Structure 1
Amino acid sequence: MSPANPGEDAGVSGFESQETEPDYEVEELELEVNQIALRIHHYRSTLSAQLKSSFFSLLESSRPLPIGASELGTSAARPDHEDDEQTTTRGEGAVHEEGLETAKKIQLLEDKISSNIILIPTVLKRMKDCISTIDNLASYNGVIHPAFKRKKTS
């Protein structure tokens, strides 16, 4: 701080300003890293549910519609439950509600089973097509790597 060396003060103040700039940049980078970490956490938590829902919708869209689906839906529909409401008011509320839930689950299971039964011919046709394709590949005379060949038993 002598008047003979005026550059000393400038160097010290310049050093302080250079030191605050990197600190500011480091804080900005840390803030960006935290934001990216939050986004990654959000993606990891929601991505599995999104993939699951899109996979199930893809499976449902690729599944062939049953021929008698409209007939099945109308015949499998349950009638109105006016008598059920009367029994819940009698005092058997909790037991009867459990019975209703069980009945709904049974009806849903019956609907799924009947829709699967309707689709059996379509699935069998697909299986036969796949088996014939595999048989055609088995009779293929091209070069097959030895790792994929079966060992002949004698």
Structure 2
Amino acid sequence: MALKDPQFRSSGDPMEGSDAEELEELEADVKEMAQKVRHYRTTLPDQLKATFTSILSSQRPPFLEFVSGSEPEASGEPNPGQSRVLLAQGDHETSEKIQLLKQKISSNVSTIPVLLKRLNECMSMVDKLDSYNGIMHPAFKRRRTS
């Protein structure tokens, strides 16, 4: 019974030549696979980025979008020097509604600090009344829950 393991073979074995050829063929396949892996590692991220960009841009709603953070001023006009991109050349009425909505949102955001100040003042007044030990009508007393 002859051993077929390469470490136990003698140099005169006729299978040794075919094993060497097979080994060289396998090494060539490994090198080819390594080149393919290197190629995919360099090109695949760019392809994925391009694919995701095109998918996201196709899913964007067709509205007027401001580029580089340009927001409309109080007059409703965009900041000077900023470019605008019109994603859909459609409805002028829709773009006006969007502008109006953005103006309302910005005005609401600008009033938030005033509202917070008033809210804190009201909360402090309620706390003062809550700590008041004088005679108070029962309708204005809080019910204590345990």
Answer 1 or 2: which has greater strand percent.
Answer: 2
TM-score range, shorter chain: 0.3 to 0.5
Greater Rg over alpha carbons, structure:
2
Greater share of helix: 1
TM-score (norm 2): 0.39
